[in-house]
Amino acid sequence: MQQILNKIRSGHWVVMGILNVTPDSFSDGGQFNRLDHALKHALQMQKQGAEVIDIGGESTRPGAKPVSLDEELQRVIPVIATIREYSDVAISIDTSKPEVMQAAIMAGASMVNDVNALHAEGALEVCANQPVAVCLMHKQGNPQTMQDNPQYADIVDEIRQYLVARVSCCIKSGIRSENIFIDPGFGFGKTLENNLSLLKEMQQFCTLGYPVLVGLSRKSMFGALLGRDVEQRLVASTSAAVIAYRQGARFFRVHDVAETCDALKLCEAVL
Ligand code: 7PJ
């Protein structure tokens, strides 16, 4: 993970491949649920250029139901252990539960990606006591209801303030500032118009002093804008990654690793 942090700090981009191990994952239909499939998918994404694999056992898509601690642990820990056994790719755990963070770190994860920005009791402490990177994401509301009626006075300002406040909490708890990423949280309690504003104003997050991670891949904002199903959002997703890159985002959480890497290589070559 240290290498990846250095790479991003020196201005290069990094792609994080998404590995969902939820039966209800909207874009891979839970087909990677079994261990061997999960491993194959992770190794394939690594070969395609992913330097981090983000493993999530609880779907956070709009309307998804929470899963129990035991269920989440059973889904993610064997997958992390298996990938760790066969590959040296960096592993990120996509969770909001401190117990899952802890177990994932023990099994070999070196990053905690929390859509809840380490709000759960004990989460800050788990991340402060170990050499892990953290990603703090903004969301409004909870997955069950967040898309019902999101409201903002000034969305960019509100999210900037939220992220800055969460960063301070992390630093106060003992998390090293070099280990912190921030993320405006596309699609988490945001209308299409909100998401487009965030993409347009990406630069305002990239100048806060912390590297920015973006998760735009196959999101429903493209469905809303283009009327396209999840499998038909590749061009919009990579184009959006390029728009974010041009404004300073350097860490990209994606399903389509090879295509995103092509687009980002082009961006870097042009600059
Ligand atoms: C994000 C995420 C995101 C970060 C998900 C999906 C929904 N983590 N986890 N940022 N999205 N950091 O992939 O559509 O945008 S789950």
Q: Calculate mean pLDDT across residues 23-46.
A: 73
Q: Is 113 in the pocket of ligand 1 (CB under 6 A)?
A: yes
Q: Is 228 in the pocket of ligand 1 (CB under 6 A)?
A: no
C-alpha 2 to ligand 1 mean position (Å): 22
76 strand-pairing partners: none
Q: Is the pLDDT of residue 30 over 60?
A: no
C-alpha 218 to ligand 1 mean position (Å): 10
Q: Catalytic annotation on 253?
A: yes
C-alpha 82 to ligand 1 mean position (Å): 23
The residue contributing the CA closest to ligand 1 atom 10 is: 215
Torsional class of 187: left (φ above 0), alpha (ψ -120 to 50), beta (otherwise): left
Q: Calculate mean pLDDT across residues 234-238.
A: 98
Calpha distance 111→118 (Å, rounded): 13
- 75, 218, 219, 250: the active-site residue: 219
Q: 199: which residues sit within 8 A by CB, 6+ positions away?
A: 186, 216, 240, 243, 244
- 139, 160, 250, 253: the active-site residue: 253
Q: 70: which residues sit within 8 A by CB, 6+ positions away?
A: none
Q: Is 94 in the pocket of ligand 1 (CB under 6 A)?
A: yes
Q: 166: which residues sit within 8 A by CB, 6+ positions away?
A: 117, 118, 136, 182
Please choose, from the candidates 103, 159, 105, the residue with its C-alpha nearest in 3D space to the C-alpha of residue 134.
Answer: 105
Does this model's pTM top 0.85?
yes
Select from 26, 113, 233 the residue to mutate for testing ligand 1; criterion: most ligand atoms less than 8 Å from CB.
113
Under the banding of pLDDT at 50, 70 and 90, the label for residue 218 is: very high
Select from 20, 28, 52, 60 the residue to mutate for testing ligand 1; criterion: most ligand atoms less than 8 Å from CB.
60
Select from 115, 222, 234, 252 the residue to mutate for testing ligand 1; criterion: most ligand atoms less than 8 Å from CB.
115
Under the banding of pLDDT at 50, 70 and 90, the label for residue 32 is: very low
Calpha distance 216→224 (Å, rounded): 13
Under the banding of pLDDT at 50, 70 and 90, the label for residue 24 is: low
Q: 93: which residues sit within 8 A by CB, 6+ positions away?
A: 54, 55, 56, 76, 80, 100, 101, 104, 105, 109, 111, 112, 113
Q: Catalytic annotation on 219?
A: yes
**pLDDT tens digits along 70-100:** 999 999 999 999 999 999 999 999 999 999 9
93 strand-pairing partners: 55, 112
Which residue has tokens 């792609």?
A: 15
Calpha distance 217→84 (Å, rounded): 25
**pLDDT tens digits along 139-159:** 998 877 878 889 999 999 999
Mean of per-residue pLDDT scores for the chain: 94
Reduce the secondary structure of 162-189 to three states and give it as a string: HHHHHHHHHHHHCCCHHHEEEECCCCCC
